[in-house]
Structure 1
């Protein structure tokens, strides 16, 4: 697959900058792969497009306030995005992998000063461009993030450089977020409300959760000319026993497994391939992938040349997906993280 096949023309004015006042008022484009039909709906009507016995699998990761601002001892400004705790093979206890934005590459043992007196230190590099950071003193990096961190909103949300306030913290989090560890939200889940969950339960549609802590691997753009050559950075996932039991039950009664978002899809398909219910996955799903567990998918509208768009194309078929995107653009749907939703059946 050529990189150009992941392209489409996205009008900038359709990139949603704010969420709707009510999450479940988002529009919902329903694509039926068999009939190749497209239906326009609303997210609060999701239950009407599903059936009794279906199982929705949601990613319950919680977005961390992972963005920190610091100064070098020389006075230069540094911006950090704390990605995840380092494994024992990557760094000492308490260390984190990070992305750092600065004018010059930081040397090993460089000290970074935070405004409240906490100090971070570059302990080394896991690989070029991926420093390992430790905290000096008794305060852990997890605690420092809670004290000093802010959300790292996507770059295409233009108010990213203003101070992130309480409204952003609520808006950029699913209502069912439970397990802290992501640096970006599983945005297909942002549309859910308690009312939607109640309607689903009343209709005999069950829900279950997986966890995949979304990191740079999910949103890094594809740059390889041949898409298959792209390598995704691994992200941690787990499939709880209750979810495995719910999937088995849905299969027995003829229900469909409907993944909510590309991250839930990758977690389930990683488990299906490896048999591992917990671990790191670098699974990159693209054209030609054979889905083992996913029967239907609920997702947002994605940026060109991204792994998430490649996954949606692999599931719906490139031509069908791009036809649906053209229809969404024609009807002025809202795109990307705070945008509208798409149900692929």
Structure 2
């Protein structure tokens, strides 16, 4: 398939600027692949499609406040620094993106906070906007990380034009977030409320957790028509033995095994054994899933509505079938479903 196969017209007003008032009362479109049917529900109705012994795979990554604003030495120019990943804990080295990048060169120093107690020195260029920073801070590592959290801002996607609001710190985080390391939320998980999770537990649905620390590479535009030539950035994953035991039991018993989000799907599809079961794994994945693709672990998935030509749309098209997904997205635009990070959800069974 080609990049152009994943274009569609998405009205700007369907890009969700804010989350739904209540997490599990966002809208839910249900796609039945076998019968090629589409239903319109609320997200809390998802429980009706799962029975005792079925499995929902959750991504428990936690978003850290990755967006900082600092000032360049001498000129005082305001610079946005987006923390991507920590390279060396002891030396406090980080890969970052800077904006405007043209003003930031090797050797420049950036000052953060009103008291300017946090300073960073640019020590390398990585990409056009990418830099490596060494943070200079007198306190312990724990105090340094606390300072980053104190100065950082919830890293809402750029398409959200409004200012970050206090409630974003809570709503741009799943309620099961545990392992800090993501710079973007695993958005399909944002629809789960504590009440809905408890109802699923009571019903006997298994809820194993994996970790994929979402990076900005997930959202990088595809710039080649031949999809086989696109390279995904690597993201760190942790798939533990307790999680593999639960998921493999679900596969063996032919239960409904649901990946909650494209990130959970990419994590488990990166750890498939030769026998088609899930292996425990700690490491990195740059797996890019696009049609045609044979999925090994999950037989259902929950996902948000994605933007045109995105790698996320390509993955869900591989799972649901390209023509069926195209029809579903036409329906979603017609019915004014909300798209992207704070948008509505889809269950594909």
Same fold per superposition (TM over 0.5): yes
- Gap regions ≥5 residues in structure 1: none
Partner of residue 283 from structure 2, selected from 263, 276, 279: 279
Partner of 2:339: 335
Is the 8 Å Cα contact of residues 53 and 254 (structure 1) preserved in structure 2?
no
Counterpart-to-counterpart distance in 1, 2:219 and 2:58: 19
* Contact kept? 1:52, 1:255, Cα under 8 Å: no
Cα 1:233–1:276, aligned 2, differ >3 Å: closer, same or farther? farther
Contact 1:67-1:152 at 8 Å conserved across structures = yes
The CA deviation string for residues 155-191 of structure 1, in whole angstroms up to 9 with x for no partner, is 22121xx2x2321111111111111111110010011
Q: Which residue of 2 aligns with 1:97?
A: 95
Deviates more, 1:247-256 or 1:261-270: 247-256
SS of the equivalent of 1:206 reads coil
Counterpart in the other structure of 1:178: 178
Aligned partners of 2:192, 2:233: CA distance in 1, in Å? 28
Deviation at 1:128, TM superposition (A): 4.9
Displacement of 1:142 after TM fit? 2.7
Measured after TM superposition, the shift of residue 238 of structure 1 is 0.5
Q: Using the alignment, how far apart are the partners of 2:41 and 2:332 within structure 1?
A: 12
Q: Using the alignment, how far apart are the partners of 2:298 and 2:91 within structure 1?
A: 37
Query: 2:11 and 2:190 mapped to 1: Cα distance?
Result: 22
Shift of 1:138: 2.5
User: Given the superposition, is the C-alpha separation of residues 264 and 84 from structure 1 closer, same or farther in structure 2, using an over 3 Å criterion?
Assistant: same
Q: Distance in 1 between matches of 2:79 and 2:147?
A: 16
Change (3 A) 1:280 1:225: same
3-state SS of paired residue (1:218): helix
Provide closer, same or farther for how the CA distance between residues 273 and 154 of structure 1 changes in structure 2, counting only shifts above 3 A: farther
TM-aligned CA deviation for residue 270 of structure 1? 0.6
Aligned 8 A contact 2:52 2:204 in 1: yes
Distance 1:270 1:103, change over 3 A: closer
Q: Give the distance between the partners of 2:302 and 2:109, measured in 1 at CA.
A: 44
Give the match for residue 144 of structure 1. 147
**RMSD of the TM alignment (CA)?**
1.8
The aligned residue for residue 312 of structure 1 is 316
Residue 60 of structure 1 deviates from its aligned partner by 0.6
Distance, in Å, in 1 between the alignment partners of 2:68 and 2:102 is: 17
3-state SS, counterpart of residue 296 of structure 2 = coil
Give yes or no for contact 2:101–2:129 (8 Å, CA) kept in 1.
Answer: no
- In the TM superposition, 1:285-324 aligns within 5 A as 285-324=289-328
CA distance in 2, matches of 1:279, 1:174: 23
What do the CA deviations read for 1:285-327 (whole angstroms, capped 9, x no partner)?
A: 1112221112111000001111111111111111111101111
Equivalent position SS for 2:207: strand
Q: Is the 8 A contact 1:174 1:189 kept in 2?
A: yes
| Distance (Å, rounded) in 1 between the aligned partners of 2:282 and 2:168 | 31
Q: CA 1:34 to 1:102, structure 2 compared with 1: closer, same or farther past 3 Å?
A: same
**Structure 2: how far apart are the matches of 1:258 and 1:105?**
46
- The 5 A counterparts of 1:68-83 are 68-73=68-73, 74-83=75-84
Q: Which runs of 5 or more structure 2 residues have no equivalent in the other structure?
A: none
1:127 Cα offset (Å) = 4.8
Name the SS for the 2:316 alignment partner: helix
Aligned length: 339
Instruction: Say if 2:99 and 2:129, in contact at 8 Å, map to a contact too.
Output: no
Once residues 69 and 287 of structure 2 are traced to their aligned partners in structure 1, the CA distance between those partners, rounded to angstroms, is 32
